[in-house]
Amino acid sequence: MFAKILIANRGEIAVRIIRACKEMGVATVAVFSQADRDALHVSLADESFCIGPAPAGQSYLNQEAILSAALLSGAQAIHPGYGLLSENAVFARRCAQAGLAFIGPDGDTIERMGDKDRARRTMAQAGLPTIPGSDVVENEEEAAAWAEKIGFPLLVKARSGGGGRGIRLVREKKDLAASVLAASAEAQAAFGDGGVYLEKFLAPAKHVELQMIGDSQGHILCLGERECSMQRKNQKVLEESPCAPVSPELRQRLCRQAVTALSEIGYQGLGTMEFLLSDGRFYFMEMNTRLQVEHPVSEMVTGVDLVKWQIRVAAGQPLDFTQADISLRGHAIECRICAENPRRKCGVIELLHVPGGPWVRFDTALYQGYTVPPYYDAMIAKLIVHAPTREEAIRKMQAALCEMVIEGVEHNRELLLDLMADPSFLDGSYDTGTLNRLLHENGVAG
């Protein structure tokens, strides 16, 4: 096992990783921007290094500074968390060249699966059904030709990155050229890669993902599925596990296909395979070669600490459980607590009351008196609950949301409470378009 790990991230995920390391007896090194000097992850780590000014491009994406901090501290590995450098193949390779373990797949695998267009072709060759789509389009003429084959409505999607960026829904031919340019520009700004491709828009559809893990001995396991259909601007708002429409037989078949596909590419590390479920059929969309924001719901229903096992397999340890040992117990729901007003996503946390009770989990880097900086992601916490049944989990989440108090920053608690009471959520029939429809009906911008 590693003696010391540097966490190349911030916020709640840095705190989550530090806590896992402490439980494993592993020393931790935090990195922070000038704006994060008083952040919780800095206080909890054994050592810390300032790596640059507030903007992420000059700090948390500063590969030279992060690698230097790792080498100076004597760390043996770097955990990238999610976002930022977590799916950066160049950074993974630079870690290896510096003699540091990158806690995630190697650079070649990240490059292969992080390119969504290439990943679709790889998974299709492995036998997974994929959504009809194009190759990467180089110009308006190519986009128009592919659109004629695919048909409208369709999506223009960035081949790199995630978080809902670089995606545009195109319903009519007249909007195609502008959407391609807009998606490409957004992707270039966010990920440094303006490549886009076209994909058939399936609706209504459910967004379902499989949690996967593979070790260096060739063992690959599936830890069940998560339902992630409640989305706003292509970004997830809440997640749950298991997914109601997925029967035990379908889950077994999906997991078997996913394991086979990842075995063919020799996948190592934690990863998530994302699918759309439409008209009773599953279609592979993309793979995230990292820890997901919503990993706690899978931990709740399987009892597996994904962060600890992500670290163990990166250290070369074999999985000590098999697919037969994995069963989904009860039901878990996660709500993302986000700063709702972009103009007031920063401020001093004047009062913080964390909800409690059996099987209630609150992942955050907030503390009373902390000043939330304006430079980073709007998500400020995650609230996760677990109960024997979905109905009990919903009631537990409603109670926990009502108990939660965060004063000083405007956030989305009321929206989440409305969603938890919506008939389509209560009966499980909601899909990827539900939240935007509800917002439109209530006169709120999607």
The sign of the CA dihedral 2, 86, 95, 216 is positive
Is there a contact between 225 and 240 (Cβ–Cβ < 8 Å)? no
Judged on CB neighbours under 10 Å (0-12, 13-18, 19+), 15 is buried
Decide if 290 is catalytic.
yes
Judged on CB neighbours under 10 Å (0-12, 13-18, 19+), 445 is exposed
Separation of alpha carbons 385 and 418, rounded Å = 17
Q: Which residues contact 328 (CB under 8 A, 6 or more apart)?
A: 224, 241, 242, 301, 302
Nearest to 261 by CA among 142, 379, 112: 112
Separation of alpha carbons 269 and 216, rounded Å = 8
Residue indicated by tokens 């709500």: 335
Task: Give the end-to-end CA distance of the chain in Å, rounded to a whole number.
Answer: 46
Strand partners, 199: 133, 155
**Token pair listed for 46:** 């054994």
CB atoms within 10 A of CB 302: 20
**Token pair listed for 381:** 């916490």
Burial profile 257-294: b = 16 or more Cβ within 10 angstroms, e = fewer = bbbebbeebebbbbbbbbbbbbeeebbbbbbbbbbbbb
Is there a contact between 42 and 15 (Cβ–Cβ < 8 Å)? no
Options 226, 290, 312, 361, the catalytic residue: 290
Q: Which residues are catalytic?
A: 290
